């Protein structure tokens, strides 16, 4: 059965997933399946909730990073990541996504990027480290919990958490 993609060797990256047929923008390229839950984040983990990390099964873990990805992610009914075309993908082209679309922080393995794209950031980063313009560009193709974590981080803390007990302008 042809799923529309195959595993191939790719110079400088080991292996990657390549389209065997064209995909239109918005079309599901790969369906994610959770292999197992993890107790913490690490280099092969996918974040599927604010504090929930999993390993995907099948060929999904073989999709390489790009700073100019042709795919984004959407959560499916099982909570896994489906890869969805955010740009037209021609047969023979490598399927890619930005690892920042799936993990808020990647300090555990932040590495030099070798994607070779025109807009390469030079480092693989998490969602928290992306510039606002890049986050806006990824709208509709990123896990919703990343946006929620951003909103929570931007909310001012309640006065009870920041109050020193002194009137304004006076030190405690």
> 144 lies in which domain range?
5-156
- Whether 133 is covered by a domain: the verdict is yes
- Whether 168 is covered by a domain: the verdict is no
DSSP secondary structure, 37-63, as one string: EESS--TT-EEEETTEEEEE-TTGGGP
pTM score, whole prediction: 0.81
Please list the residues that pair with 14 across neighbouring strands. 10
Terminus-to-terminus CA distance in the chain, angstroms? 70
- Whether 141 is covered by a domain: the verdict is yes
- Whether 76 is covered by a domain: the verdict is yes
- Whether 104 is covered by a domain: the verdict is yes
What total number of domains does the chain contain? 1
CATH classification of the domain holding 88: 2.170.270.10
- Whether 162 is covered by a domain: the verdict is no
Can you say how many angstroms the Cα of residue 88 is from the centroid of all Cα atoms in its chain? Answer: 19
List, in order, residues 6 or more apart from 101 with CB less than 8 Å away: 69, 72, 73, 127, 138, 141, 142, 143, 146
- Where do runs of H (alpha helix) occur along the chain? 132-137, 144-154, 159-162
- Whether 161 is covered by a domain: the verdict is no
- Whether 171 is covered by a domain: the verdict is no
Encode the chain (172 residues) as per-residue pLDDT tens digits: 568 999 999 888 889 999 999 999 999 999 988 888 887 776 677 777 777 777 777 888 899 999 999 999 998 988 888 999 999 999 999 999 999 998 888 766 657 888 989 999 999 988 999 999 999 999 999 988 888 888 887 777 666 555 554 444 444 4
For residue 29, give both structure tokens: 């390229």
């Amino acid at each position: 059965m042809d799923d529309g993609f195959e595993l191939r060797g790719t110079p400088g990256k080991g292996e990657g997933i390549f389209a065997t047929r064209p995909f239109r923008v918005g079309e599901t390229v790969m369906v994610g399946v959770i292999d197992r839950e993890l107790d913490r984040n690490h280099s092969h983990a996918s974040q599927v909730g604010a504090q929930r990390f999993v390993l995907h099964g099948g060929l999904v873990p073989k999709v390489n990073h790009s700073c100019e990805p042709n795919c984004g992610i959407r959560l499916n009914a099982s909570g896994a990541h489906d890869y969805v075309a955010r740009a037209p993908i021609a047969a023979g082209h490598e399927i890619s996504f930005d690892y920042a679309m799936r993990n808020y922080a990647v300090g555990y393995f932040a590495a030099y990027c070798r994607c070779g794209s025109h807009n390469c950031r030079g480092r693989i980063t998490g969602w928290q480290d992306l510039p606002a313009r890049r986050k806006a560009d990824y709208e509709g193709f990123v896990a919703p919990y990343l946006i929620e974590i951003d909103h929570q981080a931007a909310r001012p803390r309640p006065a009870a958490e920041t109050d020193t007990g002194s009137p304004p302008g006076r030190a405690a």
